[in-house]
Amino acid sequence: MVNTLNEKNSTFVLFFTKVILIMRRLAVVAFGGNALLKSGQKGTVDEQEANAYAASKNLVKLLNRRYNLVLTHGNGPQVGNILMANSAGYKSYDIPDMPLDISVAYSQGFIGYMLEQQLRNVLMENDMDRDIISIITQVLVNKDDPAFENPTKPIGPYFSKEEADIFIKESGSVFKEDKARGGWRKVVASPEPLVIFNMRSIEKIANDGHIAIAVGGGGIPCYYKKENKLQGIDAVIDKDLASSLLASQIHAHKLFILTDVPKVFLNYNTPQEKSLDRLSIAEAKQYLKDGQFSSGSMGPKIQAAINFVVRSGKDAIITAPELLGVDNGGTRITIV
């Protein structure tokens, strides 16, 4: 009799837990690479772990608001450093140089590990228990995407014009100036993401109450070399565009795009600068057309927000990590 009661109680608890998880909303939170490796830092493990810990603390507010979570992250600074380390190893020790898609995979692994570890530390501090699963994610692109003829995606640290000229001469790399942040960065091809692999598993993991880390650095770019034959390709997919595609494909209720400013600004870094609390799709498209948002900075975030809102009918929010989950924090992009 006692065993029967215990079995019934266990069944009830399991059923009740599943109901709670189903009632939770699903959010995709896109961290920028600069949230983990800040401007001016060298990129030591201690620095990046401290940044990952600080970023993870902000997620508790969403968990307390009954969100299930999928985390994505950028890798611009990190993958740039990986490429420079590869180049130095090749020149000094004849270590085989790794292509860009492998470097993206490398960055997914170590950034996912740091995020998972520091988030687990934060969860334990708050008496929360969730599995955290890092997923090495491939993303399909078109090898004939026009982006391969016009590199725009900035990676790695900022350099002076003189330093950038040296790299251009030595390696033939393409550098472009980011006037808003005062420096030159290497740019690479950034094709449009078409298909997120393993999206069904990502959705299930999150809706089962666990936290998935996926589409790191926009995903590892690959294409079909021939029928049924995948191959990596030299590119970096924009993290925000890939996160937006993932969010719509896994039926997320909200997309949070995190950056280093609290809101979206018009006339950024000018005397006419103005912050925006809300943007309709029509307004966002017009400001994008008017050139208000740089292609190497806020532009892809605005486009990613537009894509998600159009596909899902749900809201997207662009904000700083510390305002995550705060009422009226950031800029909300809506249908109207």
pLDDT at 20: 46
SS3 227: coil
202 within 8 A of 68, measured Cβ to Cβ: no
One digit per residue, the tens of pLDDT, for the chain of length 336 reads 556 555 656 555 444 444 444 458 999 999 987 777 777 788 888 998 998 999 899 999 999 999 999 999 998 888 878 877 876 765 667 777 788 899 999 999 999 999 999 999 999 999 999 999 999 999 999 999 999 999 888 877 778 899 889 888 877 788 888 876 778 888 889 999 999 999 999 999 999 999 999 999 999 999 999 999 999 998 999 999 999 999 999 999 999 999 888 999 999 989 999 999 999 999 999 999 999 998 768 999 999 999 999 999 999 999 988 898 888 889 999 999
Cα–Cα dist 302/268, whole Å: 14
| Domain residue ranges in the chain | 26-140+192-224+234-334
Long-range contacts of 82-86 (CB under 8 A, 24+ apart): 82/106, 82/107, 83/155, 83/156, 83/186, 84/156
What is the spatial distance between Cα 5 and Cα 133, in angstroms, rounded to a whole number?
34
Query: Catalytic residues, which ones?
Result: 33-34, 153, 239, 301
DSSP one-letter code for 13? H
What CA dihedral angle connects 285, 295, 140 and 81, to 10 degrees?
Answer: -150
E strands present in the chain = 25-31, 67-73, 132-134, 138-140, 153-159, 174-178, 183-188, 195-196, 211-213, 220-226, 229-232, 254-258, 264-266, 274-276, 278-280, 316-319, 331-334
Which residues of 252-310 form beta strands (DSSP E)?
A: 254-258, 264-266, 274-276, 278-280
CB 28 within 8 A of CB 250: yes
Pick the CATH number of 26-140+192-224+234-334 from 3.40.1160.10, 2.60.120.260, 3.40.50.300, 3.40.640.10: 3.40.1160.10
Could you say which DSSP state residue 330 is in?
S
Q: How many CB atoms lie within 10 A of CB 229?
A: 8
> What pLDDT, on the 0 to 100 scale, is given for residue 83?
79
Nearest to 247 by CA among 279, 302, 199: 199
pLDDT at res. 13:
46
Q: Please tell me the predicted confidence (pLDDT) of residue 244.
A: 98
- Residue-level length of the chain: 336
Of 245, 319, 331, nearest in space to 280 by CA: 331
Please tell me the predicted confidence (pLDDT) of residue 192: 95
